[in-house]
A and B are shown apart, each in its own frame.
Chain A
Amino acid sequence: MAGQRARGKSLVIAAVGWVVAIWIFFPIFWMFLTSFKGEAGAIATPPRLFFVPTLESYHEVFQRANYWRVTFNTLGVSIGATVVALLFSIPAAYAMAFLPGKRTRGTLLWMLSTRMLPPVGVLVPIYLIARNTHLLDTVTGLALVDMFTNMPITVWMLYTFFREIPVPILEAGRMDGANRWQEITRVLLPLATPGIASTALLSMILCWNEAFWSLNLTSSNAAPLAAFIASFSSPEGLFFGKLSAASTLAVAPILAFGWISQKQLVRGLTFGAVK
């Protein structure tokens, strides 16, 4: 009796859980499906769940002159911004985690608060500075801005991960004769690799998906995927098949990244507030 009720309850939970999950995921699934339908199939009514898949839309996307360029722009911006942000963040996070002083807490919160500065608030000066320094519509310019905006987050994440490393291990390194540089490169970094990797990953994801600065600071030359996709919004460019194919290409790598690393991402994203 009780067992039956429990089983019934867990069936209801499973049903609700699955319905919600499918409903939330459906647009992504549909995008994936539509990308294989070809232009005609994509707008068929009623929408088709079963059809003969075709790569027609992908071919067309690849043929659009700027697709590859856009992808390389995105990669350049994401990797460039992430690497530079880490170069700045790792020493900063090390100092705060292992050599804390009276002002450490204040510094951390201040860094976080710079992230609170709304991009729109500084859109105008950034735009004008970029224009005057010829960084407008360049990969470098966008990468720089992305680096600035993500740095508070990378510092925080690294700080959180560094704090989990037992101090005596670093001290043992010091006792063994490691200087500060060796202590960081030979002891800390190998230990912090998973943390640094997930920080880099989050930074990559944020850069890859960043839309505000991409749309405002780039046009034909340095546009990343986020801006490229936006060009499908014009009414005359309303091709569901191509839109879906391009979107799938833009989203798939990050989605895969995210699925694989969700656990580490959470740990970093919560700034250690959730154990």
Chain B
Amino acid sequence: MSAVTTASQHHRKAAIGAGASGALMLAPAVFVLLVWSVVPLVLTLWYSFQNYNLVDPTLHGFAGVNNYWYLLSDPDFLQSLLNTAILVIGVLVISVGGGTLLAVLYDQEFVGRGVARVLVISPFFVMPTVSALLWKNLMLHPIYGVYSWMMRAVGLTPIDWLQRFPMLTVMMIVAWEWLPFAVLILLTAVQSLDAEQKEAALLDGAGPVARFFHIVLPHLSRAIAVVIMIETIYLLTIFAEIMVTTAGGPGVASTNLAYLIYSRALLQFDVGGASAGGVIAIVIANIAAAFLVRAVARHLEV
């Protein structure tokens, strides 16, 4: 059978005029994506060197690196970078770590496993604004929230989570959204693990812990790479959750790069400054992407 697939793999390349019509079919998508990725990029770069404020037409002309200088020397900016890093890394650790454990858990046979699984992956399908408001109001509201009631019920004083620990709380909300995604992918990966391989390890006398580290985890590596890649794409630009819960505050305690750029551009109308932030966001994303795409590409058979 494998001989057949390799042969057909070879013969994937079709005959007559393959090159030309292939290029023709590829062209529209490539063109659209090229425009989409290059035009805004160039414009962002252009604006970032301009004095440009939407409400102050007198201010215009070449700004040199002023926008960057201004941004880099702004403590808010450094705070937002730090917050972005906390958010990305924190959520990745929680979702990949928790996701792996839960994937192994829900790979076990137990009563109602199918239903439990569906419940666990559900938050992934909830839109960010809903998730954030659910947590902000129904769960964590210092007076009416369920968690506050539970704290009172055991004799504790309820905490105003979003005021006291804004970044941590936003991180938990985002983790709640993305943990299910990790479970969804990793569970599928765990289930694709060859039963015979597990049995062989069992016969070799490997305990559950050894099996996890020597069989399951290596098997999951490519799935984990995919999870990290996709989540990073989204986590770098978490926005809605912050906007509806803390609006970046108190102060800039929960402002990440995305929210900072938004507030510069659409609240303060500082196009130049926001664009400089955008360029920095793109640079950061590209650094992350360079690692991630390469890591994932290694796992892909194209």
Task: Note whether A and B contact each other (Cβ less than 8 A).
Answer: yes
Which residues of A pack against B, CB within 8 Å?
10, 13-14, 16-18, 20-22, 24-28, 30-31, 34, 42-43, 45-47, 88-89, 91-92, 94-101, 104-105, 107-109, 111-129, 148, 151-152, 155, 166-168, 170-171, 174, 180, 205, 208-209, 211-212, 215-216, 225-227, 229-230, 232-233, 238, 240, 243-244, 247, 250-251, 254-255, 257-259, 262-263, 265-267, 269-275
Q: Which residues of A contact B133 (CB under 8 A)?
A: 229-230, 232-233, 243, 247
Which residues does chain A contribute within 8 Å of B58, judged by CB atoms? none
Query: Can you pick out 9 interface pairs between chain A and chain B where the beta carbons lie within 8 Å of each other?
Result: A18-B116, A24-B119, A24-B176, A31-B130, A105-B302, A112-B293, A116-B289, A174-B14, A230-B244
B25: which A residues are within 8 A, CB to CB? 91-92, 94-95, 99
A148: contacting residue among B13, B32, B262, CB under 8 A: B32
Contacts of B257 in A (CB 8 A): 120
Q: Say whether B157 faces chain A, with CB atoms less than 8 Å apart.
A: no
Alpha-carbon separation in the docked complex, A38 to B243 (Å): 27
Q: Tell me which residues across on chain B come within 8 A of A257, comparing CB atoms.
A: 125
Please tell me if the beta carbons of A25 and B146 are within 8 angstroms of each other in the complex: no
The 8 Å CB contact of B233, one of A95, A116, A208, A269, is: A116
| Per-residue A-contact encoding for B284-300, CB less than 8 Å = 1, 0 else | 11101100110011011
Known contacts A122-B40, A212-B239, A250-B130, A21 near B262 by CB under 8 Å? no
Does B275 count as interface, using CB distance less than 8 angstroms? yes
CB-CB contacts below 8 Å: B1-55 with A: 8, 11-14, 18-19, 21-26, 28-30, 32-33, 36-37, 39-41, 43-44, 47
The count of A-to-B residue pairs whose CB atoms sit within 8 angstroms is: 336
Interface of B, helix, strand, loop or mixed by DSSP: helix
Q: How far is the CB of A97 from chain B (nearest CB, A)?
A: 8
Per the bound structure, the CA–CA distance linking A95 and B28 in Å amounts to 12
Q: Which residues of the other chain, B, contact A272 by a CB distance below 8 angstroms?
A: 300-301
- Cβ A123 vs Cβ B261 within 8 A: yes
B139 in contact with A270 (CB, 8 Å): no
Beyond the given A125-B40, A212-B240, please list 10 additional residue pairs across the A-B interface where CB-CB is below 8 A: A28-B122, A96-B22, A117-B41, A125-B43, A226-B130, A229-B133, A230-B244, A247-B134, A269-B226, A270-B189
